[in-house]
Amino acid sequence: MPPSVPADRRQPPPFDVKGKHVYMVGIGGCGMSGLARLLASRGAIVCGSDTSRSDVTSELASEGVEIGFDQQRGVLPERCDFVVHSAAIKPAHPELIAAVERGVATLSYAEALGRCMMGRTGVSVAGTHGKSTTTAMLGIALTDAGLDPSVIVGAVSSQLAAGACSAPQRAIGFRIGAERVPDGGLQGRPGILVAEACEFNRSFHHHFPTVASISSVEADHLDVYGTLDAVVESFREFAMLLPPAEEGGLLLIADEGAHRREITAGLRCKVQTIGFSPAADWVVWLDSSTGQVTLSRGREAVAQWTNRVPGAHNAMNAATACAIAISLGADPRKVERSLSEFRGIDRRMQFLGEKRFDRQAGTVRVYDDYGHHPTEVEATLRAIRDHERPQERGGRLVCVFQPHQHSRTRFLLEEFASAFGQADIVIVPHIYFVRDSEVEKSRVSSQDLVDRLRSRGVHAMHLYPFDAIVEHLQNLCKPDDLVIVMGAGPVYQIAHGFLGSGPAVSGGGAGA
């Protein structure tokens, strides 16, 4: 039997926030700050709070958004129609308690973002890996194609506001577009809202998409799901949110690695597959020596471009963005040009600069990456090694990896141990402690990962604090080495600290 979807989710009414007073807890986050601007663009009066000042809160303040930094008082504005809180805010937060006591409605970030899709052409980009990059690629490509989308992504890009084919602007994680699609095959339809769809805590179940993609489905967030089967079921429930094919519902799902048979069985929306296999509906071909990507449908090539960001996974991300953009009515030639100019987003294989020890002897190139799952680690290390080829110059690939969450490290310890085959040296600081309990924290340590790596012949060590790792890199690294700092926590500070500890050359996007 086909899965059933409530009728009110298939044809939701518009989300009317005009004149409403919205208070946002955690407003300085990448997604929350973009959502704040999206709500404000629809006529809401937005204010909020965060734990500390940042460039993001300063920019919001310059745009007239009032922000407080004392969240412990639990004091909400006198006029407050509803409160929106980030995923990091727990129910015991003083401001949420105050909202409950006053009878003010509360929405999570995902719930508010999903409601913003009501009355729009919602596009949700999902998958265990590649969500942020694909969302940015798609949003930028649609902008360059003249479809003027709104975009919310959990990362920042200097190309997002104006498109890849325009001069880079300030790095942002949002874009505010038109209320109606101004051009292309969907001209006149409700405006496009492209959003990253996160599976953590089943957040993406709050979306109201018309079009969606699923790039991969793997065991992750097992502190929430417990088993891979539960993860797959969650993605299936997400896919069930799409409207029937006759109402424009479309799911683009990876031909391999996304459990597509289990997820797509009985769906009412149109289902298309994408992959390197000739059996896929959209076939991707990559010339790894040049980075040229060709996307075909059936036997006909529909688009071709050269990726600036290396790796087969980024070729797939770009191809997914291209297929969705074309499905939304974008001109394939404009999409090609946009993807060929895409320079990456912050913390995704981001080239930061070169550390110069001796002007006569060469430099050490430094990258920063958000990868925190074994598949991401392995793909990124392979892509950077193939792109930079340090071994041909006698250099080594030195990886500083900070595990993110004790539960993820424990559940995937053996997978992590096999993910660093491309690295010559691995340095592991303390596991980033977030969300897990103290009991979970006691079950695994960074040394456990180091021991597993050493048992596989990898030169690995556990060092802390960050300052000690920066000092060790200064003594360890030699010209022509390559350093990549990886993890979803504050480990990026090591990369910037290493570059800042002596003469450095500023870097641009990946592969610059």
Counting Cβ atoms within 10 Å, is residue 197 exposed (0-12), middle (13-18) or buried (19+)? buried
| DSSP H or E run through 231 | helix 228-239
Upstream peptide bond of 2 is cis (omega within 30 degrees of 0): no
Domain match, 333 and 356 both: no
CATH number reported for the structural domain that contains residue 50 in this entry: 3.40.50.720
| 259 and 309 assigned to the same domain | yes
* Domain CATH for 469: 3.90.190.20
CB 473 within 8 A of CB 500: no
Q: Are residues 412 and 283 in the same domain?
A: no
Q: Is residue 13 part of a domain?
A: no
In 432-457, which positions are buried (b, 16+ CB within 10 angstroms) versus exposed (e)? Answer: beebbeeebeeebbbebbbebbeeee
Query: Does one domain contain both 131 and 82?
Result: no
Chain segment 174-193, per-residue pLDDT in tens: 888 888 999 888 888 999 99
Q: Do 167 and 73 sit in the same domain of this protein?
A: no
Residue-wise DSSP of 58-118: HHHHHTT-EEE--TTS----SS-SEEEE-TT--TT-HHHHHHHHHT-EEEEHHHHHHHHTT
Domain count, the chain: 3
Q: Specify whether 279 is located in the same domain as 191.
A: yes
Amino acid at 16: D
How are the residues of the chain apportioned to helix, strand and coil, as percentages rounded to the nearest 5? 35, 25, 40
Q: Are residues 97 and 159 in the same domain?
A: no
* Domain extent at residue 373: 350-506
Contacts of 276 (CB under 8 A, 6+ apart): 255, 256, 283, 284, 285, 286, 312, 316
- Domain boundary residue, one of 320, 340, 360: 340
Task: Say if strands 66-68 and 425-428 run parallel, antiparallel, or are unpaired.
Answer: unpaired
Token pair, residue 209, equals 């998409």
Please state, in angstroms and rounded to a whole number, the distance separating the CA atoms of residues 196 and 209: 11
Taking 50 as the pLDDT cut, the residues of the chain under it are 1-8, 10, 502-512
Terminal CA-to-CA distance of the chain, rounded, Å? 51
| Structural domain contains residue 267 | yes
Residue 485 β-bridge partners: 368, 400
Amino acid at 9: R
12 is a domain residue:
no
Q: What is the pLDDT of residue 3?
A: 43
The reply to whether 7 falls in a domain is no
Q: Are residues 227 and 263 in the same domain?
A: yes
- Say which DSSP state 32 is in: H
One domain for residues 315 and 412: no
- Lay out the sheet containing 121-126: strands in order across: 172-175, 150-157, 192-196, 121-126, 211-214, 250-254, 270-275, 282-287, 292-297, 300-306
**Residue 360 structure tokens:** 């006569």
14 falls within a domain: no
Picking from 56, 49, 103, the residue whose alpha carbon sits closest to that of residue 74 is 49
Give the β-pairing of 192-196 and 45-49: unpaired
Is residue 512 in some structural domain?
no
**pLDDT per residue over 38-48, tens digit each?**
999 999 999 99
Strands in 459-462's sheet, in edge-to-edge order, are: 459-462, 425-428, 397-401, 482-486, 362-369, 350-358, 504-506
Let me know whether 132 and 26 are in one domain: no
Q: Look up residue 145 and give its amino acid.
A: A
Indicate the length of the chain as a whole number.
512
Let me know whether 155 and 239 are in one domain.
Answer: yes
pTM above 0.85, yes or no: no
Beta carbons of 510 and 351 less than 8 angstroms apart: yes
